[in-house]
Amino acid sequence: MNGLLLTFIVALVLAMFFIVFRMSNLVSILRSKNKKNEEVDISTNNFHAYLFLLLPLAGTIWAFWYASRHMTLWGQPEASVHGAEYDWLSKIAHVIIILMFLVTNTGLFYFAYKYRYKRNNKATFYPDNTKLEVVWTIIPAIILAILVFTGWNLWRKVTKDAPENAIQIEVVGKQFNWIARYPGKDGKFGGYNFRYTDDINELGLDFTDKNVNDDFQATELVLVKGKPIQLKIRARDVIHSVSLPHFRQKMDAVPGQPTTMWFIPTKTTQEMREELKTNPEYLKPDPSTTKGDPADIKARWETFDYEIVCQEICGRGHFSMRMRVVVLDEKEYEAWVAKQEPFVVKNKEYVLEAVKRQMKMKQNAGQAFVENVKNTD
Amino acid sequence: MATAVAHAHDVHTHDEHHEHHHETFLTKYVFSTDHKMIAKQFLVTGILWAFVGGLLSILFRLKLGFPEMDYTWLKPILGKWVTGDPGQGQLDPEFYLALVTMHGTIMVFFVLTAGLSGTFSNFLIPLQIGARDMASGFLNMLSYWFFFASSVVMAASFFLDGGPAAGGWVVYPPLSALPQALKGSGAGMTYWLISMTLFIVSSLLGGINYITTVINLRTKGMTFSRLPLTVWAFFITAIIGLLSFPVLFSAALLLMFDRMLGTSFYLSDIYVAGQALDHTGGSAILYQHLFWFLGHPEVYIVLLPALGITSEIIATNARKPIFGYKAMIGSMLGIAVLSFIVWAHHMFVTGMDPFLGSIFMFLTLIIAVPSAVKAFNYITTLWRGNIRYTPAMLFSVGLVSLFISGGVTGIILGNNALDIYLHDTYYVVAHFHLVMGSASFFGMMAGIYHWFPKMFGRMMDEKLGYIHFWLTFVGVYLVFFPMHFIGIAGFPRRYYEFSAYAAFRDEVYLNLNQFISVAAVITFGAQLIFGFNFFYSMWRGRKATQNPWNSNTLEWTAPLEPGHGNWPGQIPFVYRWAYDYSKPNAEKDGFTDFIPQNVPYSMTPHSNLPHENEMIALEKEEMLPHDTTLELAKLAKKKELTA
């Protein structure tokens, strides 16, 4: 019934529009019959010229006002060594492009306004000017060169090999969550093979490798403040992407092609929360806490957390593929590590079964290899 | 030279013969080999697809702007893709991904490649270079019908049980190769690949035709240095397409092999849905290299025709020659060449060698230089002009603004250090929707408003055009500008909702998303005005005059509604470039503020520039004795004198 009514109303409105259109059409035909020559309708033409001046101006003012109010933290607060440099470079680059944007758009709209049609006016025949062309080829080239070199500098810093003392953590993406693995006391990761994967051994750990013995897994990524962190990234099924917006880092997780990234966190989660207390944006309540009991309402700084955001489309649950990231200071971190139980200790019975299967698989593969070699004779 | 004349003569007699030939509905409107009809077929199909693509974006924009909205009312249309009890109907997350994917595919390929390039290359190349038709009318017809078949397959994929392809318009494997990982990667993806293959065939057939026609069928006097910039743009676009689309085909073919034959081109070490797959040794990144080898030139395949159209319209309506004609061609050529060696800037964070990343950053930022030159040249063309605002001109000025606004953020994204944070955020969405999506769309609209009289012999309603423009122009900025803020806040693309993350729970951004969605609905609504205007004017619009915009190019010398063969008599010769607008002293020669391309220099002694006077001797020797259309040009001049 409602649908029918809605359709009827829409049809009515459309019919009204159509009648107005037809009437204005007929009127304009009558009017144009009185005019002898088809010439430019000056008042309409001016109207467009004025709008070209006014609307962009209004829009620009709004954009600047909005940015000055809400973009104080460049979107997300930064918390890594190169993050501060990133923000600085990003701001410089944005200042430059905003200037380019303003200068060129101003030229465009001002000319669109100023040189609107005027009766008895004639346009200037001005087909080319090599000097001008050269000037505005060279100027953008110089500006771009500066941006390229500053960007290149930072890029090399971010992508160079991780320092030797970096804490290594493996991050594995799967539909639809992340798993972290720490190398344990020996500082070495045990091997893995995707064929060993099952519901318990989610990372496909190779239990015949003794380095696996002290590896432990976590559902949160726990990092140390002030120490280089190297993430060894892989994916189990489809491409995911480890995005760490607060650390200004991102790297795809590709099945079959492990990737890596590193950075140095500069603020613990706790320190960051304290810092955000001073920002009016973060004093506002967190919308996810406002639905229940008013007593549970928390400010955004209280619920702040570092996070891994999956940034490459990976299927149905892509939008919820989040991992909490916790940054601790060194003492807290060591205490946390001490509490962790290696995977093989946690799942003793399972591992004893699995290792038999894995050995069998290896044996089969070995036999197949021997046979292959024999057949090549 | 004699051969050219003989050729023209031959076609002429053929043409007379043709008039006796009875055209049926089927040969005239369906299996037509006339480039004008094929152009219209591309156009109408493109417009229909644009509405579909736009509607899909509205569906997911509603979800993003109003996450709690009840979708039950859409259940009659979307069926099982709306889940949950009545009153709490929600869009299925996988269907959301399908919407995003199909929106991208449709807009990029069907609307802005086929709808834009297919329409205007087909329509304008023969008319502007002075040719009877395309080099091969038959291949041209095939080009449309392959596109149509591709459209049918893509449309059919919406009705599949698992829905259409849903892995993003770039369809990266392994996601797109594994039905276990995503429903849309089943039959939907197969349909997608078949449809794209047909589309590539269509593109290649069209492209070969455009290139051949421009090289071989230019009328006497139409040298490359006199070609209108529109034709230059279509020509370069066709070359880019011819070189890059086959690579997309190879990417698609290998993906089909992986999906159907169990090969491992892209797949390796995969454990999905409780099962380790047999594939080993493939590289998922290989696909991305192949895809973006087309994908990046594709941006310019979409954009260059729009820029060509704009060049023509801005010059005509500012009543000024386009500033820096040669620089415009040079920058297009530069863009074309560079477009092939920047593709990996889409892949800075895929784990590729950082050194390679540096190389691609350098190359990417170089491409900004010719783009900047183009923008400056447009602006200088407006300088000291006498600008008339037709709807086409409004859209052209709008295009330049969008091109700049979307272009400058390319400098940020092309900078690999800055891209790390912004990659796959809404910042990217804002960037390419402005510079590629909206700018090209504006070019298409400008072209439609400008050449509608030539296509249908009638005018589109101007007032509706004005309303359409302002709503769209303001709307597009309101939709895409705020996305920069959301992008800087790190919001990822292709997210069904953002509530899982503490970082994205700021109500500022929720409000901004809502704002964008409302603006999107209004902007889409404004397109309905265009749709009405287009189809209404086709039959009921005001009758057009032969040259309604006082334009110089050759198509306006053809009859109001040109028949098959375009010009009833001999094809006009060309004596000058297309941009003699407001030439000093033209009044003394009996012209107003424009001198069409088919007017010899010998008829305009007062307004000629020194080097043009030198051409007169050559004209008298080689051209004038053969030009039977000259009487027409003289008549046109007299008419203007009396007016």
User: What are the DSSP calls for B539-568, one per residue?
Assistant: HHSPBP-SSTT---SGGGGS-SS--TTSSS
pLDDT tens readout for residues B568-627: 989 999 999 999 999 999 989 888 889 999 999 988 999 999 999 888 988 888 888 888
Cβ within 8 Å, pair B351-A259: yes
Cα–Cα distance, B463 to A20 (Å, whole number)? 12
Cβ within 8 Å, pair A316-B425: no
- State mean pLDDT over B390-403: 97
| Tokens (6 digits) for B399 | 């295009």
pLDDT number for residue A375 = 85
Taking CB atoms and an 8 Å cutoff, what residues of chain A touch B267?
255-256
Taking CB atoms and an 8 Å cutoff, what residues of chain A touch B179?
none
pLDDT tens readout for residues A255-309: 999 999 999 999 999 999 999 999 888 998 888 888 878 888 999 999 999 999 9
Cα–Cα distance, B412 to B400 (Å, whole number)? 19
- State mean pLDDT over B157-186: 94
Arithmetic mean of pLDDT over chain B: 91
pLDDT tens readout for residues B505-524: 888 888 999 999 999 999 99
Of A278-292, B396-410, B550-564, which range is least confident? Answer: A278-292
Closest-CA residue to A74 (of A61, A59, A86, A60):
A86
Decide if A188 touches B, using CB distance below 8 A: no
In terms of C-beta density within 10 A (0-12 exposed, 13-18 middle, 19 or more buried), how is residue A189 classed? buried
Considering only CB atoms, A147 lies closest to which of B272, B285, B365, namely B365
Domains of chain B, residue spans: 31-269+276-540, 557-642
C-beta atoms surrounding A84 within 10 Å: 13
* Residue A332 confidence class, pLDDT cut points 50, 70, 90: very high
Q: Which of B379, B512, B540 to mutate to test the interface with A (most CBs of A within 10 A)?
A: B379
The residue of chain A with its CA nearest to that of B461 is: A25
Smallest CA–CA separation between B19 and chain A, in Å?
34
Smallest CA–CA separation between B137 and chain A, in Å?
36
Considering only CB atoms, A319 lies closest to which of B421, B461, B495, namely B495
The residue of chain B with its CA nearest to that of A54 is: B474
Decide if A28 touches B, using CB distance below 8 A: yes
* Residue B633 confidence class, pLDDT cut points 50, 70, 90: low
pLDDT number for residue B506 = 84
Cα–Cα distance, B446 to B402 (Å, whole number)? 14
CB B199 within 8 A of CB B114: yes
pLDDT number for residue B632 = 61
The residue of chain B with its CA nearest to that of A317 is: B93
Taking CB atoms and an 8 Å cutoff, what residues of chain A touch B354?
155-156, 159-160
- Which of residues B174 and B28 earns the better pLDDT score? B174
Across the beta sheet with A177-182, the strand order is: A216-218, A177-182, A167-174, A229-235, A259-263
Decide if A23 touches B, using CB distance below 8 A: no
pLDDT number for residue B639 = 55
CB B471 within 8 A of CB B522: yes
In terms of C-beta density within 10 A (0-12 exposed, 13-18 middle, 19 or more buried), how is residue A142 classed? exposed
Superfamily in which the B31-269+276-540 domain is placed by CATH: Cytochrome c oxidase-like, subunit I domain (1.20.210.10)
pTM, two decimals, is 0.93
Decide if A29 touches B, using CB distance below 8 A: yes
Domains of chain A, residue spans: 40-119+127-159, 167-357
Cα–Cα distance, B588 to A96 (Å, whole number)? 49
Q: Is the pLDDT of residue B9 over 80?
A: no
pLDDT tens readout for residues B228-252: 999 999 999 999 999 999 999 999 9
Cβ within 8 Å, pair A70-B272: no
Cβ within 8 Å, pair B386-A29: no
Taking CB atoms and an 8 Å cutoff, what residues of chain A touch B280?
256
pLDDT tens readout for residues B466-499: 999 999 999 999 999 999 999 999 999 999 999 9
Cβ within 8 Å, pair B320-A126: yes
CB B493 within 8 A of CB B426: yes
Q: Is the pLDDT of residue B2 over 60?
A: no
CA angle B134–B139–B141, rounded 5-degree value:
85
Q: Is the pLDDT of residue B12 over 50?
A: no
Q: Is the pLDDT of residue A25 over 80?
A: no
Decide if A311 touches B, using CB distance below 8 A: yes
Cβ within 8 Å, pair A123-B510: no
B162 Cβ contact partners less than 8 Å away, ≥ 6 residues apart: B179, B183, B184, B186, B187, B188
C-beta atoms surrounding A219 within 10 Å: 10
Decide if A64 touches B, using CB distance below 8 A: no
Cα–Cα distance, B275 to B278 (Å, whole number)? 9
Cβ within 8 Å, pair B384-A126: yes
Taking CB atoms and an 8 Å cutoff, what residues of chain A touch B468?
none
C-beta atoms surrounding A55 within 10 Å: 15
Q: Which residues pair with B276 in a beta bridge?
A: B271
The residue of chain B with its CA nearest to that of A287 is: B505
pLDDT tens readout for residues B405-418: 999 999 999 999 99
The count of residues in chain B is: 643
Q: Which of A203, A282, A316 to mutate to test the interface with B (most CBs of B within 10 A)?
A: A316
- Which of residues A37 and A61 earns the better pLDDT score? A61
Cβ within 8 Å, pair B418-A89: yes
The domain over range A167-357 is classified in CATH as 3.30.1180.10 = no
Q: Is the pLDDT of residue B322 over 60?
A: yes
Distances in Å between the alpha carbon of B193 and those of B157, B205, B248, B259?
11, 18, 10, 11
Cβ within 8 Å, pair B320-A118: no
- State mean pLDDT over B320-326: 95
Distances in Å between the alpha carbon of A120 and those of A40, A78, B549, B593, B638?
12, 60, 18, 11, 21
CATH topology of domain A40-119+127-159: Helix Hairpins (1.10.287)
Q: Is the pLDDT of residue A329 over 60?
A: yes
Q: Is the pLDDT of residue B636 over 70?
A: no
CA angle B456–B233–B105, rounded 5-degree value:
80
Q: Above pLDDT 90, what percent of chain B? A: 81
pLDDT tens readout for residues B256-315: 999 999 999 999 999 999 999 999 999 999 999 999 999 999 999 999 999 999 999 999
Q: Is the pLDDT of residue A33 over 90?
A: no
pLDDT number for residue A34 = 55
Smallest CA–CA separation between B506 and chain A, in Å?
7
Cβ within 8 Å, pair A194-B270: yes
* Same fold flag, A40-119+127-159 and A167-357: no
SS3 state of residue A341: coil
In one letter, which amino acid is B361?
Answer: M
pLDDT number for residue A1 = 58
Considering only CB atoms, B497 lies closest to which of A112, A118, A319, namely A319
Decide if A199 touches B, using CB distance below 8 A: yes
Q: Is the pLDDT of residue B367 over 70?
A: yes
Q: Is the pLDDT of residue B6 over 60?
A: no
Note if the bond before A101 is cis, omega within 30 degrees: no
Farthest CA pair distance, chain B: 85
Decide if B175 touches A, using CB distance below 8 A: yes
Q: How many CB pairs under 8 A join A and B?
A: 356
Q: Is the pLDDT of residue A2 over 70?
A: no
Smallest CA–CA separation between B339 and chain A, in Å?
17
pLDDT number for residue B298 = 95
Decide if A304 touches B, using CB distance below 8 A: yes
Closest-CA residue to A232 (of A284, A175, A193, A180):
A180
- State mean pLDDT over A142-161: 91
Torsion-angle region of residue B344: left (phi > 0), alpha (psi -120 to 50) or beta?
Answer: alpha
Q: Above pLDDT 70, what percent of chain B? A: 95
Taking CB atoms and an 8 Å cutoff, what residues of chain B touch A141?
369
Q: Which of A111, A192, A326 to mutate to test the interface with B (most CBs of B within 10 A)?
A: A111
* Residue B643 confidence class, pLDDT cut points 50, 70, 90: very low
C-beta atoms surrounding A377 within 10 Å: 4
